[in-house]
Amino acid sequence: MIKSYKELIAYQKAYKLVQVLYQLTKHYPKSELYGMVSQIRRAAVSIPSNIAEGFMRGSKEYIQFLKIALGSSAEIETLVSLSKDLNYCSLEKYSEIIELNTEVTKLLIHYIKKLRN
């Protein structure tokens, strides 16, 4: 029995994703500070935050919070792909982030399915 959201693998991986994305966006052009940097960081923080909040609220609302986290995960994929295409992100870093984000996405989908049953 899981006693804390911090024990959830999706939370742990999403938290790591936030750290990786904050490190990445430190090197973006200053002109992107209030654009892509802000958007990426908000979307990233949204994932573990929604996992935590949903867990604490209980199963009835939990699915909705996981869906919000899932939407933020899709947003991250789009923004990181755009970052790569704009040469703000190396192909190697892009691959690392996408792999981690895909793991989070799969776990979120798994949690949603499990809670529905």
CATH code: domain of residue 20: 1.20.1440.60
The band of 105, judged by pLDDT with boundaries at 50, 70 and 90, is: very high
**Residue 27 one-letter amino acid:** H
Whether the per-residue pLDDT at 59 is higher than 80: the answer is: no
* Mean pLDDT of all residues in 103-107: 98
When divided into structural domains, the chain yields a total of: 1
pLDDT in the model for residue 58? 85
Which residues, other chains included, contact 57 with Cβ-Cβ below 8 Å and sequence gap of 6+?
65
Whether the per-residue pLDDT at 44 is higher than 80: the answer is: yes
Whether the per-residue pLDDT at 106 is higher than 80: the answer is: yes
| b/e code 39-68 from CB counts within 10 Å (16+ = b) | bbbebbbbbbbbbbebbeeeeeebbebbeb
List the domain range (segments joined by +) for residue 58. 5-116
How far is C-alpha 38 from the chain's CA centre?
14
* Mean pLDDT of all residues in 41-53: 98
